[in-house]
Chain A
Amino acid sequence: DTEVTQTPKHLVMGMTNKKSLKCEQHMGHRAMYWYKQKAKKPPELMFVYSYEKLSINESVPSRFSPECPNSSLLNLHLHALQPEDSALYLCASSQEGTGISYNSPLHFGNGTRLTVT
């Protein structure tokens, strides 16, 4: 089992709903990431939090709103999504706040499979 825990595992939501995805890690990692993965495609970076501060936003639409309440938790708030936003949403973490380095590879959770109807 992965040490990055994501809930829920599955989520179905309508286009007018508001929902949140949650990610938790207790490895003391100081960088956390949200990735989006469509079927048969590699993961695409959405956001990076470094030392609990948003450091990268890959031009993600504002209907996705990330939040990092503390060093162990990462949330992704969803509002007014479109059917094309249906995907596997992956959370990841790395030990060092500056990202990947010699002792700091990226570890992924098992994702939340989101379906927007």
Chain B
Amino acid sequence: QKEVEQDPGPLSVPEGAIVSLNCTYSNSAFQYFMWYRQYSRKGPELLMYTYSSGNKEDGRFTAQVDKSSKYISLFIRDSQPSDSATYLCAMSAVAGGTSYGKLTFGQGTILTVHP
């Protein structure tokens, strides 16, 4: 079993839809949770970054973390064709010691928003 599970999709939605992307994880030491967006032939771009449980909103994006269920989500409201990309969840245990903030990624979800 992988430490982080993410449905690879692909996910196809019409423009304007609400998109829900999810990851589950097994390592209870994870404290930092990130969502990255990666366009084809580009590096991952940091979208959202949360610490521990709770919600965080930034424009059309909302990140949720439920540590009790070991479940994180990214919601995209009013999705646009420019949101078409691969979305990667990533997690890290507490910094320091031997971990040095190593990131563990999900497999990535391919999202297509069609006009």
Contact = CB atoms under 8 A, between A and B. Distances in A.
Interface string B82-93: 000000101010
Contact of A42 (B34, B95, B108): B108
A98 B96 contact: yes
Contact of B43 (A2, A48, A50, A55): A2
Interface stretch (B13-21, B44-52, B59-67, B69-77): B44-52
Interface residues of B, number: 26
A22 interface: no
Interface in A47-86: 48, 50, 55-56
A44 to B, nearest CB: 8
A21 interface: no
Interface residues of A, number: 31
Given A99-B95, A99-B96, A101-B95, A111 B102 contact: no
Contact of B45 (A2, A56, A102): A2
Interface of B: 32, 34, 36, 41-46, 49, 51, 88, 90, 92, 94-96, 99-103, 105-108
Interface of A: 2, 4, 6, 31, 40-43, 45, 48, 50, 55-56, 88, 90, 94, 96, 98-102, 104-111, 113
